[in-house]
Structure 1
């Protein structure tokens, strides 16, 4: 059973772009939601060997979010959620059905913006 326990700000992506090719966004609107996962991990990553045959290593930061929103929410890939000081770009939207076969809530997958 879905129970929203936190308020986020939903910022919808507009249809136009600015002179630099960046998408425009609308005004923030409050949205009740439930947080399932907000993770930021640093994992080792391999680096391609350069011409001197030296080996290299790097660290890659992965930041992912899973959030549940009400079934009536009009949210799309590319929209932005702001909650708990994080800015999350929506990368996936998955409707979730309850045991009676009706739409219960929508599961949102997102990428946490590390520049915020």
Structure 2
């Protein structure tokens, strides 16, 4: 009688692993839609902004420096940014992240 109960308990605990697999897939899907996908979308927007840079644009660099684009060197991927009258710094194009006017308009809404 005891062996029958033990065998029944083992059979119940060895059930299908399908619910565990479904739960893992669901967790991955949730992570994809709430974390990975929005980050990829944001990176795509930043790349489009960096590729559309032109002289005269007001920008913010990765270090938080505000300035105006003076010159873009496509061959070296560098941007000259004027941060004060007569003060020009050179930054890598990949570290120019935001358009100042667009970010201020978003905050005013």
TM-score (norm 2): 0.28
Structure richer in strand, relative to its length: 1
Structure richer in helix, relative to its length: 2
User: With CA pairs under 8 Å and 6+ residues apart, which has the higher RCO, 1 or 2?
Assistant: 1
TM-score (norm 1): 0.27
